[in-house]
Amino acid sequence: QVQLQESGPGLVKPSQTLSLTCTVSGGSISSGYYYWSWIRQPAGKGLEWIGRSYINGSTNYNPSLKSRVTISVDTSENHFSLKLSSVTAADTAVYYCARDLGSGSYLDNWGQGTLVTVSS
């Protein structure tokens, strides 16, 4: 059973870069069937798709965040990462990593989520 687990700082200062890692266990991230995705959810609000990466480095990003986002996959470490630069309070949210079955693009396996607060 594949499991995903987010990790990273829970507090980031404004204007700095938010960096999170999602470790995949119970399966190989190198499986060619999946994209590896990030989604976020501000407290009490809905879900926002941030973007996804394939193992060959191909990425898709939400245009609303595209200039600030980088998602990358590290097959040697079996994890993938999110970097979001120039953060503001509006980036405070629970961040989820998820596995995306690319052929149908459904998010069939999620991490538990990690709260990131942007505050000085």
**Binding of another protein by 63 (CB under 8 A):** yes
Q: Which tokens sit at 100? A: 């995306």
C-alpha to C-alpha distance for 49 and 93, rounded to whole angstroms: 12
**Binding of another protein by 47 (CB under 8 A):** yes
Residue selected from 33, 104, 119, 120 as contacting another protein according to rule CB under 8 A:
104
C-alpha to C-alpha distance for 111 and 23, rounded to whole angstroms: 9
Quick one: which segment of 10-18, 26-34, 41-49, 70-78 binds another protein (CB under 8 A)?
41-49
Q: How far is the CB of 1 from another protein (least distance, A)?
A: 12
CB distance 86 to 12 below 8 Å: no
Q: Which of residues 11-30 bind another protein (CB under 8 A)?
A: none
C-alpha to C-alpha distance for 11 and 21, rounded to whole angstroms: 15
Q: What one-character DSSP code corresponds to residue 79?
A: E
Q: Which residues bind another protein (CB under 8 A)?
A: 46-49, 51, 60-64, 96, 98, 104-108, 110-113
